Chains A and B, each alone.
Chain A
Amino acid sequence: MNETLLIKHAVGGRTFVDSSKQQVPYEVAHEAGRWQFAVHTPRHAGIDEILKWKQELNVFIFRVYDDGRPTQKIWYSVAADTVKYDAAGGKLTFAAGSCIEYVPDDFGYKL
């Protein structure tokens, strides 16, 4: 199974973080009813954009299976007031209060 973290602008889909293309180790922990994300990355233009557009972020985890199961996507609703970047630690953190899991193939239109 291949997992990818994507952080995009919700208005039009500009990609700020793509773990399939960038070295960005990350962790997701489910604590106290929220999903706590920690993304390890030096500061770059994408991080600046995340902080600027923190009210309008789409965060996804994609899971692509090699056993024939369809791709699963999880979209997280980010709490804007939790989006922070620790420059000293090189770490972006944020929390999501809810998520929606979906299988794109379940919808009538397939790319």
Chain B
Amino acid sequence: MMKLFPASARHAVDLGWLRSSLSFSFGEYFDPDNSSFGVMRVLNDDIIAPGRGFGAHPHSEMEIVTIPLNGRLKHEDNLGNVEVTSAGEVQRMSAGTGIIHAEYNDSDTEEGSFLQLWFMPKERGIAPSYEMSRYDEDKLQNTLLPVVTPDGAGDTASINQDMTIYLGRLQPGRRIFFNQKTGRRAFIMLLEGKLNLNGIAMGPKDSIRAEFEPDFVLSAEEAAFVLLIDLP
């Protein structure tokens, strides 16, 4: 079963310094029928003004992944981690028993565009931790490259959940296949371009939530930048 969520269906937030498109309930946007997709709880597509961001605040029992699309995001936490994450990199924070962090656009002149994703943890009560990883942009070409995995193999960031996050860039006219294991969910967002997914046309920031689909055929009608998340 596959359901298309057009980009325009996301809840829009405009605070001036922050423009965000929310794929799930978050903050004052609360829809009891749209609070999760399996273990996935949040996907916020944030555009943050230069030098602005989120002051120190806590998290617990959540796996939080940030994928910069443009710009630089600076992270500081009470564990002593201070890092700047840019496009081509992925940040993973396991909040576990509790962590305090601040994150903000590290540029004084340019807006930054970041995807923030939250997932329920597989195991609760773990010690909080932070990791930044870098993926090879060349390896995204016409494939789905894992960037977050349960075991952190290779260049991927590890996550405390039975899930994998993939990124891929398809050239126009190219087609790739993704075999979905039985009984799994998949969340697919087209970040740029035009894509056909199993006969469904997708434009930028459209997403599909798929349950118990055996295979995906992704056909790029224009150059396409794809996010695919395999979930329990």
List residues of A whose CB falls within 8 A of some B CB.
10-14, 55-56, 58, 73, 75, 77, 98, 100, 102, 104, 106-111
Contact = CB atoms under 8 A, between A and B. Distances in A.
Contact of A109 (B27, B41, B53, B98): B53
B97 interface: yes
Interface string B74-117: 10101000100000000000000110111110000000000000
Interface string B18-31: 00000001111110
A107 B97 contact: no
Contacts of A77: 60, 97-98
18 contacts: A10-B59, A10-B61, A10-B62, A11-B25, A11-B26, A12-B28, A12-B29, A14-B27, A58-B60, A104-B102, A106-B56, A107-B56, A107-B100, A108-B74, A109-B54, A109-B55, A109-B74, A111-B55
Contact of B100 (A11, A55, A102, A109): A102
Q: How large is the interface on B (under 10, 10 to 19, 20 to 34, 35 or more residues)?
A: 20 to 34
A14 B102 contact: no
Contacts of B35: 11
Contacts of B30: 12, 14
Contacts, number: 68
B55 A10 contact: no
A85 B44 CA distance: 33
Interface of B: 25-30, 35, 41-42, 53-56, 58-62, 74, 76, 78, 82, 97-98, 100-104, 118
Majority secondary structure, B binding face: strand
A98 B26 CA distance: 25
A109 B230 CA distance: 34
A11 B78 contact: no
Contacts of B56: 73, 102, 104, 106-107, 109
B100 A75 contact: yes
A56 B55 CA distance: 20
B228 to A, nearest CB: 23
Contact of B98 (A55, A75, A107): A75
Contact of B76 (A10, A108, A111): A108
B98 A12 contact: no
